Amino acid sequence: MRRKLRKKLRKNLALSSLAAATLFAASCDKNDDNNSVVEEPKGSFVVVATSGEASYLLQADDLTSGEMTIVNSGLETDNGTEWEFNSNKYLYCLVYNQGNAGLTSSYVLNADGQIEKRGIENEVRSRFTTHGSYGKYVVTAAAVATDTKDAAGNAAQGVTFTYIDAETQTLATKTIITENILGNGEYATFSGISEANGKLYTAGCPIGVSAYGAAKGAADTARTTTAYPDSVWIAVFDNTNFENPRIIRDGRLSYATTRFRSQFYTNLAVDDRQNLYVFSCAYESTTTKPSGVLRIKSGTEAFDPDFFFDIEAASGGHKLCRPFYIAGDYFLLQMYTEPGAPKATSSAPAAVKLAIFDAANKTFRWVTGLPDVANIGSLSKKTAADNGKIHIAVVTADGEQPAIYTIDPATAAGTKGMAVTCTGIAALGKLIPVQ
């Protein structure tokens, strides 16, 4: 009898322990659901491939191998003049339509991880000559004649900023007067839109003296060339009110832009510590300054007096076209193919040489492993940095499929990866699903 009682007690204890364990596990699962760190949704590389008058948005989890095609694949869109990836969530297609309004569309990855077009299109009523991202905003800018006029009817020159809230898909504009904004009596435009430490940075580019400026005493007569090619300026705005910018100047470089026709391409790049690197193409033919790079350290609004690198000297006379930040202290530099000043032609001057700039050690190395420069027709305007390396698309002139090359900045070596059946590749980037 006693033996049966002990056996029954052990059984009850076992059942109680099991129930408690089950309850504890359920409680842990519940707590884990509440307290565990939610993993970031898996992203996808997006390749903007082109053919004729259409673009195709293709997706891939990896760009280092394999093949993709636009044939019966991807999301077909209109061709964009420029493509802007904002906050790793939104892809904007910007259309330059001369002096007329351009329709801007945007794309996201949905909850299923598939790219789709969003329902609202925005009409950018002003043409744009530069663009970029600031927080949740996609920003474009263009020089304009403002409504402010003197007694003779001369219009003050300025810049119109158009900024699209990528989250709400709403658009706003702000026009500011840029007469003497750089403190040299000339009017200016801006090149590049970058964010660092929560502020908007853009490079000031002097244009010349307007009739309005001449009437105000800035010069004897109006002119369309700058008398100040040997200075670089950065304007710092606190927000999208675009009011009361602080102007930072340095005399070691010329103004920071790469220019072709009406477009002012950015020469700015921000690292992961929020340092702003200010590159200069030395576009102005009258400048005595080389193509090089300066730095504005994080938390400051002044050029670092101890940081300067002469890209032109290190490259044997080649000038920078565009910089792309990779990771750490590494930058990918797109360089003009021929040394000396970029030659003005009916098409953009060739800029298909690539180099790695190490800002910490101040070193410059040409990238190896790419097709011969004589065979490269174009490079993608947008690159995709990932896991300490950078991907860039290369289109060759020999009829081979365009391909994406992965460049390791530690070795300055490029490796051929994904081949894409298309005519050209305009941009690369990475998106994560928008929840």
Phi-psi domain of 188 (left: phi exceeds 0; alpha: psi -120 through 50; beta: other): beta
pTM score above 0.85: yes
| Intra-chain end-to-end CA distance of the chain, in Å | 65
**pLDDT of residue 375 exceeding 60:** yes
pLDDT tens, 291-328?
999 999 999 999 999 999 999 999 999 999 999 999 99
CA pair distance 140, 345, nearest whole angstrom: 26
DSSP labels, 85-122: EETTTEEEEE--BTTB-EEEEEEEE-TTS-EEE-S--E
Q: Is 301 exposed, middle or buried (0-12, 13-18, 19+ CB in 10 A)?
A: middle
- The answer to whether the beta carbons of residues 6 and 12 sit under 8 Å apart is no
pLDDT tens, 285-296?
999 999 999 999
**Whole-number pLDDT of residue 189:** 98
CATH number listed for the domain at residues 54-431: 2.130.10
pLDDT tens, 148-195?
999 999 999 999 999 999 999 999 999 999 999 999 999 999 999 999
